[in-house]
């Protein structure tokens, strides 16, 4: 099947605006400007069943319809922070197929009646930022952006803003504060950004991949889009595969059409585990979701099936760990990440991430007793449901996910140091 999002994998040089236009690019925008009202665009996206690709999987059209009527200006803010370990799909979209994404930004801005959209891109993506800046300029000179889009009364300004390398700035309200020039820390919700967002105005925040889905939905219709994927998880998805696989990379497939086994072993996908070793652990949403195991290889890759298996699909960053991986060591790496990235605004996360890391250091340095292992889920339980933003809960996933399947590895470390 032809790619819908990663069209760059089928069409050479599609980052060039002329190549993009020759292959049907900006036709959806033309259709929107010439024939559709704001509401009709939102209705089409709603009908497509598109869910946000940034992690939470919230229905996109529904999110747009939460904006209060008649309150202007409104903003579209694109989350291009992409900082989850193992996630690199938005990077490929922005670097290799930028105009499909920019067309999605313009159509979505039109739908929510926004005249100024912001793309917040992670600081470590300078190449993608430069490519986007160029793409925005090209869109303007071709009449697709700027004042009087395609000769209509609609104006759209697009600003590319570079972040400074903080994972927490991917959380939508921390992102808004950072964009406003403040320290990037999550806001207390409610109020939600739909009512009080950027500069206190109604704001929609969407992920890069989410918006890259919008032009094909408009061009080919909601029914066509719904025919791809499953009833509840519609459309194509880009899966990022990394870790101990032979061919890491981004692979696009309809949601629910392939299993973890297909993705890891398939000829058109990651082609198996390096050295033909066995799979031991699988992270489906980077460091933020509980680990699955080789027993879950037949899990279908859609939001519902991965949840039923005990994890989350999130942004679909699949990290594969082979049979030689020291699981408590891998969990410590994740604990280090969360300790470093916790913004410190709320106590359970600030203190909890510190104590989880301290316990992991003891366990992996051979200084722990059984009581330290038992303490891990106790600390985690003091964090879940008690933090201001989801990072505090994400930080407990390495504990709950690995203890569930690999407790004996923790206990072996304690026994070998005589503290068992």
Ligand X SMILES: Cc1cc2nc3c(=O)[nH]c(=O)nc-3n(C[C@H](O)[C@H](O)[C@H](O)COP(=O)(O)O)c2cc1C
- Residues binding ligand X (CB under 6 A): 52-56, 58, 79, 81-84, 167-168, 170-172, 205-207, 210, 389-391
Q: Which two tokens stand for residue 254?
A: 């309809």
Chain centroid to Cα 113, Å, comes to 25
Q: Which residue is nearest to ligand SF4 (CB)?
A: 349
Listed in sequence order, the residues at least 6 apart from 276 whose beta carbon sits closer than 8 Å to its beta carbon are: none
β-bridge pairing 157-162 and 116-121:
parallel
Q: What is the DSSP string of 250-276?
A: EEEEETTSSBHHHHHH-TTTT-SBGGG
Binders of ligand SF4 among residues 185 to 224 (CB under 6 A) are 186
**Which one of residues 389, 399, 403, 414 is an interface residue with ligand SF4 (CB under 6 A)?**
389
Chain centroid to Cα 392, Å, comes to 17
Using CB under 6 A as the binding rule, whether residue 175 contacts ligand SF4 is answered as no
Q: With CB cut-offs between 5 and 8 Å by kind, which of ligand SF4, ligand X, none does residue 81 bind?
A: ligand X
Q: How many residues does the chain have?
A: 420
Nearer to ligand X, 106 or 273 (CB): 106
Tokens 């292992």 label which residue?
A: 373
Q: Give kind and range of the element (H or E) at residue 136.
A: helix 126-141
Q: With CB cut-offs between 5 and 8 Å by kind, which of ligand X, ligand SF4, none does residue 387 bind?
A: ligand SF4
Q: With CB cut-offs between 5 and 8 Å by kind, which of ligand X, ligand SF4, none does residue 54 bind?
A: ligand X
Using CB under 6 A as the binding rule, whether residue 334 contacts ligand SF4 is answered as no
Smallest distance from the beta carbon of 349 to ligand SF4, in angstroms? 3
Nearer to ligand X, 19 or 56 (CB): 56
User: Helices in 149-274 by DSSP H: which ranges?
Assistant: 172-179, 208-212, 214-220, 222-226, 260-265
Smallest distance from the beta carbon of 398 to ligand X, in angstroms? 15
Listed in sequence order, the residues at least 6 apart from 323 whose beta carbon sits closer than 8 Å to its beta carbon are: 277, 278, 279, 280
Smallest distance from the beta carbon of 392 to ligand SF4, in angstroms? 3
Smallest distance from the beta carbon of 383 to ligand SF4, in angstroms? 8
Using CB under 6 A as the binding rule, whether residue 346 contacts ligand SF4 is answered as yes
Smallest distance from the beta carbon of 99 to ligand SF4, in angstroms? 34
DSSP 124: T
Instruction: Give the interface with ligand SF4 as residue ranges (CB under 6 A).
Output: 168, 186, 342-346, 349-350, 387-389, 391-392
């Amino acid at each position: 099947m032809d790619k819908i999002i990663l069209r760059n994998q089928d069409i050479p040089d599609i980052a060039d605006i002329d190549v993009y236009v020759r292959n049907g690019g900006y036709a959806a925008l033309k259709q929107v400007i010439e024939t559709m009202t704001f509401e009709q665009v939102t209705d089409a996206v709603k009908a497509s069943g598109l869910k946000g690709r940034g992690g939470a999987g919230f229905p996109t059209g529904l999110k747009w319809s939460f904006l209060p009527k008649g309150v202007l200006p409104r903003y579209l803010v694109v989350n291009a922070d992409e900082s989850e370990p193992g996630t690199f799909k938005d990077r490929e979209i922005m670097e290799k197929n930028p105009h499909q994404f920019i067309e999605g930004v313009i159509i979505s801005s039109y739908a929510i009646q926004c005249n100024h959209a912001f793309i917040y891109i992670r600081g470590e993506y300078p190449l993608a930022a430069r490519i986007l800046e160029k793409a925005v300029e090209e869109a303007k000179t071709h009449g697709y952006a700027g004042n009087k889009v395609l000769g209509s009364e609609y104006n759209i300004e697009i600003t590319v803003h570079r972040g400074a390398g903080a994972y927490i700035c991917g959380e939508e309200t921390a992102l808004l504060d950072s964009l406003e020039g403040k320290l990037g820390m999550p806001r207390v919700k409610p109020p939600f950004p739909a009512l009080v967002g950027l500069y206190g105005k109604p704001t929609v925040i969407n992920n890069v991949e989410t918006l890259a889905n919008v032009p094909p939905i408009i061009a080919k219709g909601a029914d066509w889009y719904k025919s791809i994927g499953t009833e509840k998880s519609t459309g194509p998805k880009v899966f990022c595969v990394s870790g101990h696989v032979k061919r890491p990379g981004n692979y696009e497939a309809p949601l629910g059409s392939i299993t973890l086994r297909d993705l890891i072993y398939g000829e058109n996908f990651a082609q198996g585990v390096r050295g033909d070793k066995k799979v031991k652990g699988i992270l489906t949403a980077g460091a933020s979701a509980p680990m699955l195991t080789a027993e879950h290889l037949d899990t279908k890759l859609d939001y519902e099936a991965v949840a039923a298996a005990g994890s989350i699909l999130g942004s679909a960053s699949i990290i594969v760990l082979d049979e030689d991986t020291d699981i408590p060591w891998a969990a410590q790496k994740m604990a280090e990440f969360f300790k470093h990235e916790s913004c410190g605004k709320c106590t359970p996360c600030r203190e909890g991430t510190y104590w989880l890391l301290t316990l992991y250091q003891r366990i992996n340095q051979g200084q722990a007793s059984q009581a330290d292992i038992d303490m891990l889920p106790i600390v985690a339980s003091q964090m879940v449901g008690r933090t201001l933003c989801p990072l505090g809960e994400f930080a407990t996933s390495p504990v709950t996910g690995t203890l569930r399947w690999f407790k004996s590895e923790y206990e072996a470390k304690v026994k070998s140091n005589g503290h068992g």
